[in-house]
A and B are shown apart, each in its own frame.
Chain A
Amino acid sequence: MNAHYAGTPPPADWRERLAARLGQRPRRIGVWAELALYGARRCLDAAGLDVLPAGALLRAASLRGPMQATREAVEQGKSGLPMPFTFLQSQPCQALATLSVALGWQGDARFIACRDRELLLRMAEREAERHGVLYGWIEEGAKPSTEWWWIGAA
């Protein structure tokens, strides 16, 4: 079945809900990756899936990405070296790594963004034909959002 979760915005206590769902607080990941994890988990739960099925694709997109961690890492770099975890959190791919572990899955994950969201969604749908795709759009900041689609195999 297909499923959609629109945390636009997510509930105020989304971090507590995520920790409750996972049984622990995610460690050493930034807010952007945590938002991604919350939305992806909610979407898979809506689809009745505990793990992301083998062979499925994972696609994440964002306009601003992990900007908070990026700014922090740049600021830290002015006077010394950035903190390793801050630097890691500035990379969108760290969210993909986090999702891979949390969703019990190894496979084709991409961060790919485009101003035309419909185009990106159509690309994901086309790629989903064989095994399905979990596709999400995540924004942190004053108006956080995490919106995800599970599009099952055709």
Chain B
Amino acid sequence: MKDAYIAGSGLASALGSDLPAAIEALREGGVAPRRFELPSGNAWPYHAIDDDCADWSARAERIVRRVAAESGALSMRDGPLFVASSSVDIGARELDRRFEHDMLAFADGVQHWLDWRGPVYSVCTACTSSMVALFSAADCVRAGLCESALVLGVELRNALSVGGFGAMQLLSQRPARPLGAARDGLVLGEAVAALHVSREPAPWRFAGGANVTDGRDPAGIVPDAVEAACRGALASSGVVPGAIDLVKLQAAGSPSGDANELCALERIFDPLPSLTTLKSALGHTLGASGAAEIALLVACIDAGVWPDAGHPLDRSLGARLVARTPERLRHALVNILGFGGGHTACVLEASPR
């Protein structure tokens, strides 16, 4: 079995059009969410990419091309391409009403935009989509089927996601407060994120991961499944809990979801490692969140810049968020949980410098 590394990454989000812009925005305290107004008049805060082009497809093409290029993956276009999304191109369908396209039409479009020559897969497991895509990409690289692969997490503006989450009463009317004492729901966001997965050694190795579907709560987080995903990720990485130096939480600001995640982590870790959450900075970018948060996490570590929670934390959770890079940072556990019974976790290992 070969190793798989995160050879490069790219991100367009509400924080900026690329990773350096995102880090700069975090240095300055982040970017406040805008409002997303539905045709019905309902509106919620929303972390939008700063690009007001009305042509959904032209905007998507421009952003996808830029982010894929930022990841460095376009120098080798023969490996597998995994296009991961919860909403796929429903934003375009809402505008043109052309529902005759199949679900792979968007991935076909991305393949064309990038002049990609390798096989193309479409992954759709809601919030865990790009994390699951990363697992599949890493499997291919580790099995020696390819030298590299590209994971693209794409979640772009659409009314269905906002209206659907709103209808389920999962959204907050205020900026997200992950782990906050007054947290009352999620704030959605859009992002396009790329992870270039390669067998060539790079500063971060994908050590292992686990995907656990448990349908007992199809719209929420099941603590047993969070625990199983974290333990599975640790086992597949050959890492013991005490070796984890940082946990990037799901922590989306849901009253029960944040508590359930912490409850599961407390069964594994004693004491809890350093914790961070990126959703107050990015919003919950649904199917793109796995790739987006890994890309931003690695950039934060490299730059020594961390998002400021900016709100009082719920003391009953016993969680403290990092304000600076932990002194020792060899292994980071990344959690992406969600909707549809999906619970994923992976371990990233810093290569010796």
Chain A residues engaging chain B, CB cutoff 8 angstroms? 58, 62-65, 67, 70-71, 73-74, 77-84, 87-88, 90-94, 96-101, 106-116, 119-120, 123, 126-127
Contacts and interface: CB of A to CB of B under 8 A. Distances in A.
Given A81-B167, A100-B215, A106-B225, A114 B119 contact: yes
Given A67-B99, A88-B218, A108 B211 contact: yes
Given A64-B102, A108-B213, A113-B121, A94 B340 contact: yes
Contacts of B210: 108
Interface residues of B, number: 49
A73 B160 contact: yes
Nearest to B38: A77
Given A83-B167, A84-B164, A126-B143, A64 B103 contact: yes
Contacts of A99: 215
A108 B122 CA distance: 17
Contacts, number: 149
A114 B342 CA distance: 21
B215 A97 contact: yes
Nearest to A65: B103
B103 A63 contact: yes
Interface string B97-131: 00100111000100000000001111111101000
A93 B99 contact: no
Contacts of B125: 92-93, 96, 109-111
Contacts of B213: 58, 93, 96-97, 100, 106-109
A114 B163 CA distance: 29
A103 B236 CA distance: 25
Nearest to A98: B215
A62 B214 CA distance: 21
Nearest to A111: B124
8 contacts: A73-B160, A74-B159, A80-B40, A93-B339, A106-B214, A109-B125, A112-B132, A114-B122
A73 B94 CA distance: 11
A91 B86 contact: yes
Nearest to A114: B121
B124 A93 contact: yes
A38 B75 CA distance: 44
B211 A110 contact: yes
B164 A73 contact: yes
